[in-house]
A and B are shown apart, each in its own frame.
Chain A
Amino acid sequence: MTQFKIDETFRDDYTFRNSDGAILRFPFPFEQDDYMYSFNVELHRKGGPTGAYENYFDIDEHYVSECRERALVLLQDPSRCLVLDHMESAEWDTLELIMECLASDYPEHFELHRDPDSWRWINRPLEIEHSFIFGDRSTLPCSPFEYITRQAQGDFLLQDHRNNNLYIDGGMVTSQADWSLEFDVGMSFIEWHAPVPLAHEMGVFESAVNYLMQMEYGIPVRRLNWTMTVNPRLDTSQENYPVWGPDRRTITRQNIGSKLHLRVELQAAWRLPRSNAILFSVRGYLASLDDISRVPKWARRLHRVIKNLHPEIADYKGISGYRDLVTEHMAQFDDGAPTSPGTQPDTKTLI
């Protein structure tokens, strides 16, 4: 049973820390010693190289604190949760999916009771107990999508599937890597990804749309994405770039190990049954360079990936300013030994 750290912060004094267990279950993103965009999808089934893959929607020790951080972001900027009117059916689909998965994967923390006309939802870690009528939004304190995504870790996006295309017509986005849901709402999938360099020429997004549109419900898929973040800050939104942007200049040789974090998104895509929309769950994980260096294989590999990274990708991910410092810092953990294929840590204990 997960022990929750209930008072971590992701801003100001940044008290977020990973336990040893959390480091070992981190979804390290690099399969090989170099990195390029690829359409690296696989079925989202239970089980994978680390503990982060054990359940459909992963709940870990940071759950309570992350939900509190989300609530704080929404207080400051309610438009981080934005769903266009025609997506209500997808909202209920999302609520049903997440409640059902959480209740069956973590019965010690969540319960869902479905009587013919009323549902009862119990969320112990957040101390919530609520009865409502499925399909009747007046029986919930907020919209069904907002209600359930306030109680889940990671960001969520709703893609409407119509006219043989996908449109980003809703989302709960409080921990994104430098983009703005509010600006991008309503865009087609390709327009939404317009700012990403290189990948368009490679046809990555055309393939992605076509692939996603033929997805069937009940068969979710996943992929990983990554970037780096200064401080364990979840809200690195474009909206607040003037607030966190200056942090990028604070990395020094002395503080890099504890201050700079590898940030991984485990992105899963789910076809929703009644709306036929597609839900993206973007579950973010943070690990400091110090955390990473406690797993020898990951430390070696991270050094090699950053050293050889394509400059345009480094720019887009915002790491050009301190890239050399990362390479220099990680070099001490790279003895040149070969690394095994795959992302699993190859160890049960940390050094």
Chain B
Amino acid sequence: MIFQSELDLKVARIDVLNETLKRFHLVSAGGEFLPPAPPGSHLTFLLNPRDGEVIKNSYSVVSPTLIRDHYEIVVRKAADSRGGSKFFHEDVKEGNLLKAKAPRSNFSVHSLARKSILIAGGIGITPIISLLDEIKRRRCKVELHVICGQSDRLALEALLADEALAGPNFYEGRNNCSIGKILAGQPLGTHLYICGPFNLMRHVQEVAHELGYPSSNVHIESFGATIGNAFNVKVEGLNKEISVGESESLLETLEREGIEAPFSCRGGACGQCVVRVVEGEVDHRDFFLSDEQRAAGNCMTPCVSRASGRALTIAIK
């Protein structure tokens, strides 16, 4: 169903693409249809590599967006892996069960684009693949440029094999690719989608800006997107200090800790969830509080707002 926020997935098949890349086919553990994976989306896994330890890792869904009976993800084994990609490469076996949050995307396809240029750096190709699928469904002109190391080229080419695309352009290494050449002389209504290392994305943005691309035509995906900073919270009257992670809201943390907190919209609009702030600075991200209330600094909406520093003390009515 479409309305699931947490998924139980079963590993149906694992393909080894090369020494560092593996593709995982995931189906719903209960056999039902999965929520659609939006173009450019990722799954955030809640992994348990060792007892008592939970780590969160996000990987892009590379299967076409119309497919509802399975997801495919590609995981690169990172040299300095803190556990996620190592766990996937060494411990995950066919038939294993994994928990993940429903797929989310930071990319979306611009509906008025007359041409799309996709630029990927290395494994940054992964969110681009489903984006390409959606763009082609819209019958929009498209070019794909992939910059990668020599050792990955074959595997990445294989990943794109299903995409029946006239000539993806491969460049072995950044020095062999002139972004200026790609971007110059493109027709009106061209949109750029970039995913890769920070420096590449920054460079493309700069070149595009110089050539007169409006910023609304340049779309970038920062990998491993988080919601914000991590911080600690004391709840007055409860003898407890809780820590809010980078990818969860304060409201979610309260709920996870079994602390009862009111809410309605969960998006900073209704004000149902407002709590009193006893100590600490708040990074207000809601649409509800007035400027005066923000300035006074004694309340916040835990569904979206965070600490601007490392710690907060709050009181729940």
List A residues at the B interface (Cβ < 8 Å).
39-43, 56, 86-89, 93, 96-97, 100-101, 104, 114, 134-135, 160-164, 169, 206-208, 210-211, 214-219, 221, 273-277
Contacts and interface: CB of A to CB of B under 8 A. Distances in A.
Report the 7 A-B pairs with minimum CB-CB distance, sorted nearest first: A276-B108, A211-B269, A273-B36, A86-B111, A207-B287, A42-B264, A273-B38
A218 B5 CA distance: 7
Residue of A56, A101, A215, A275 with most partner-chain B CB within 10 A: A275
B35 A86 contact: no
Contacts of B110: 162
Contacts of B104: 216
Contacts of B266: 43, 219
Contact of B265 (A41, A87, A89): A41
B102 A218 contact: yes
Contacts of B138: 86, 88-89
25 contacts: A39-B269, A40-B270, A42-B272, A43-B264, A43-B266, A86-B112, A88-B138, A97-B2, A114-B33, A114-B68, A134-B66, A135-B66, A162-B111, A164-B216, A216-B104, A217-B35, A218-B4, A218-B35, A219-B3, A273-B2, A273-B65, A274-B39, A274-B65, A276-B108, A277-B111
A155 B100 CA distance: 35
> Max chain B CB contacts within 10 Å: which of A161, A273, A274?
A274
Contacts of A43: 264-266
A308 B207 CA distance: 60
Contacts of B161: none
B267 interface: yes
Interface string B94-111: 000000001011001111
Contacts of B264: 41-43
Contacts of B72: none
Contacts of B108: 161, 276
Contacts of B66: 134-135, 274
A127 B33 CA distance: 26
B265 A42 contact: yes
Contacts of A42: 264-265, 270, 272
B267 A214 contact: yes
For B5, B265, B272, the residue with the greatest tally of chain A CB atoms inside 10 Å of its CB is: B265
B12 to A, nearest CB: 16
Interface in B256-289: 264-270, 272, 287-288
B124 to A, nearest CB: 20
Contact of B109 (A96, A216, A276): A276
Contacts of B37: 273
B269 A100 contact: no
B264 to A, nearest CB: 4
Given A114-B68, A135-B66, A214-B267, 4 more contacts: A211-B268, A218-B2, A218-B5, A274-B39
Contacts of A216: 104
A93 to B, nearest CB: 8
B50 interface: no
Contacts of B102: 218
A287 to B, nearest CB: 25
Nearest to B3: A218
B221 interface: no
A276 B105 CA distance: 9
Contact of A274 (B4, B38, B265): B38
A162 B268 CA distance: 21
B5 A89 contact: no
Nearest to B65: A274
A168 to B, nearest CB: 13
A104 B35 CA distance: 14
Nearest to B33: A114
